[in-house]
Structure 1
Amino acid sequence: MSNGKGMPRGLDFYRKWSQGSWAEEKLKEAINRTKDYSAYQYGPSRGEPFHTIEEFEKYNQEYSRKEDKFGKRPDLLVFNDSTIEDFSIEDKETLNELEEISDSKAEEVISSSSGGIEVETSIWKIEKRRRNGKSLSMTVKKEDYEPLTSWREQWNVPIFVVQIFFDEAYIMPFKNIEDPVEKKEENPQTSISGFYRRTDSNTGKITYFADVLEFEGVERIGEFVEFPEIDARFLERDDGKVVPYVAFKEGKLNITTTLENFFE
């Protein structure tokens, strides 16, 4: 099925998902190189590429069925290393299985985390935008907003949104958009400094945008000291059609702020 511009919907979704998985891995690596914190995969991710669109869609459906009643899992969970040191052997094993097991089997570990991170990506260089007197935004999809809120309320663990641009990364407390979202949903015409609500003309889906320079609470968290490479790949459809796409690989992101400013 096409999105009207020649790209199968399954491929478009997979391309974005693949880019997101790469961004999650780069952020996780960066946090794990810091002194006091460690990040673990919590939402669905996969290192190796899929070979067919159908294989990816099956994987995604299986995760959707497995996703817990508590809402949408943030992509990563962050822990203070001192907390991990106090974990039992069983809890330490659970850390490395968070993505695979149900929340009900990892309650103590989840509730001990310092925060969850929802990772978003953007194929822009923000430094060049700044030089041209323009800005970019953090993004949260409306379809993710309520499930993430449900998860946060269930576990009483703060969530942060991290936007990975091609050259830098920015962080924002999820709670900072709650009041603006409510006001925009009540009246989409409400003017809020640095905050926007837009509907995609192709999909009809709504996304919230928080300007990295104007919106309250947005801070730079990291920068790429090694830029990613572009990898040419392809997927096969069940009908035999081969569909090429590009993906990011490698790259090195360094944390440039003190994480304890965000995570307890």
Structure 2
Amino acid sequence: MYKKRILNLIQQSPLNINTEIQITGRPPTMASSEFLTNKEQGDWAEQVVYRAINEYSDDFFAVEYGRSESIAAGDDGFADFYKDYQNELNKIGKKPDLLIFKLTDFPNKDVEINNDEHIIKAVAALEVRSSSFLSYKYKAFMDRRQEEAINKCKIIRDRIISGELGKILERKNKTIYNLILQATDETFRELDFRRPSWSSTQELRQLTEILKELKENIKILHKRDYLSITPKMEDIALVNRWIQKYNVKHFYLQVFFDKAYVISFEEILELIANDDNEDNIFSIERDVKNQGKTTIKVNIKVGKEILGKIDMPEHKSAMKELDRGRLLFYVTFEGGKGYLDKNVFLQDIINA
């Protein structure tokens, strides 16, 4: 059974996930412009997916399920809303944003989202995340940056090895010399050595500076160079809690401004269980853009391109006036059609 597989993966996870976690804490007292913009973008991304499924799928339909209230910190009633939301998380877990149903089960699409007997009939649950990138442009930039860093590493290596500096390095530190001598385009990123600080002669000072430049380019190769699907660490236990109640397959769907990618929650758990995948297929980071929360960043390459194209939405400035007269300016999004890949939708979500 699906929910048993998920629970087993979580219990065996090296991340020590507390499945009994209870969410507590005081509500935030004031929203920010960045928070409001991020919320608008998240709502837009959810609508892009919702419309794409309902427009392009003949046998299935999407229903909005997760919380979608427009209330924010600082609004009247927010403290009560926040407390109710915490109680919901502690009772049933984190609701997915969208649920997918068979049209044959609900010919009139009359799903009651507060009816558990209806919810358990869902064939899939989607958690929709958004990212402020054009994925094709990001990839081109990162590919170019990586290529430039590798070329600079090769130039520096050849400069050292082919001249007098190579002889000096071999004499002073044979280990570093051999590492550089044997390095290839594929292994430059694996070089790891402590840069010496020789300074007694002009040649040694020059060699020290060249090794510093080599290290700087290696550091570029070490940086994460992929866009990611971004489940938050704290959400794993809460998503599992919902799954244990309803036993509906769960998926993460990351929406960019040109495409969207999907991966199953089960596959995410399998990937992070293998530490050989860390820094290659996934990384775990404290995300300053996400309120400093610890986030698992899974390479979109292991996901599937579920929306092969998204039309750019219109974006407009908006203003929110707080009770004490403070003004928050943020961005809203409208339009932006997504084009569903039916094969991916059927193979990787419906029949997964």
Would the aligned equivalents of 1:11 and 1:53 in 2 still touch at CA under 8 Å? Answer: no
Shift of 1:55: 4.8
Equivalent pairs: percent with the same residue?
Answer: 28
* TM-score w.r.t. length of structure 2: 0.60
Would the aligned equivalents of 2:260 and 2:306 in 1 still touch at CA under 8 Å? Answer: yes
- 1:136 corresponds to: 227
The one-letter code of the counterpart of 2:325 is: G
Structure 1 counterpart of 2:236, from 121, 138, 145? 145
Map of 1:124-203 to 2, 5 A cutoff? 124-132=133-141, 133=143, 135-182=226-273, 191=278, 193-200=280-287, 203=291
1:64 pairs with 2:149: no
Structure 2 counterpart of 1:108, from 100, 108, 117? 117
The one-letter code of the counterpart of 2:52 is: A
1:19 pairs with 2:41: yes
- Distance, in Å, in 1 between the alignment partners of 2:119 and 2:308 is 28
- 1:263 corresponds to: 350
Query: Which structure would you say has the larger RCO, counting Cα contacts within 8 Å and 6 or more residues apart?
Result: 2
- 2:312 corresponds to: 227
1:36 pairs with 2:124: no
Would the aligned equivalents of 1:126 and 1:168 in 2 still touch at CA under 8 Å? Answer: yes
The one-letter code of the counterpart of 2:260 is: A
* Pairs aligned (count): 235
- 1:73 corresponds to: 95
More helix by share: 2
- Change over 3 Å in CA distance of 1:65–1:256 after alignment to 2: same
Would the aligned equivalents of 2:71 and 2:78 in 1 still touch at CA under 8 Å? Answer: no
- Distance, in Å, in 2 between the alignment partners of 1:62 and 1:14 is 20
The one-letter code of the counterpart of 1:179 is: E
Q: CA RMSD in A?
A: 2.7
- Change over 3 Å in CA distance of 1:60–1:11 after alignment to 2: farther
- Distance, in Å, in 2 between the alignment partners of 1:251 and 1:63 is 33
The one-letter code of the counterpart of 2:254 is: Q
- Change over 3 Å in CA distance of 1:10–1:145 after alignment to 2: farther
Structure 2 counterpart of 1:238, from 316, 323, 341? 323
- Distance, in Å, in 2 between the alignment partners of 1:242 and 1:199 is 29
- Distance, in Å, in 1 between the alignment partners of 2:330 and 2:54 is 30
Which of the two has higher C-alpha Rg? 2
More strand by share: 1
- Distance, in Å, in 2 between the alignment partners of 1:41 and 1:232 is 26
SS in 1 for 2:100: strand
Shift of 1:80: 1.7
Shift of 1:190: 7.6
Shift of 1:201: 5.1
1:207 pairs with 2:302: no
Deviates more, 1:196-205 or 1:222-231: 196-205
- Change over 3 Å in CA distance of 1:25–1:59 after alignment to 2: farther
- 2:161 corresponds to: none
* TM-score w.r.t. length of structure 1: 0.79
- Change over 3 Å in CA distance of 1:208–1:225 after alignment to 2: closer
The one-letter code of the counterpart of 1:263 is: I
The one-letter code of the counterpart of 2:58 is: K
- Distance, in Å, in 1 between the alignment partners of 2:258 and 2:100 is 23
Shift of 1:200: 3.0
- Distance, in Å, in 2 between the alignment partners of 1:167 and 1:237 is 34
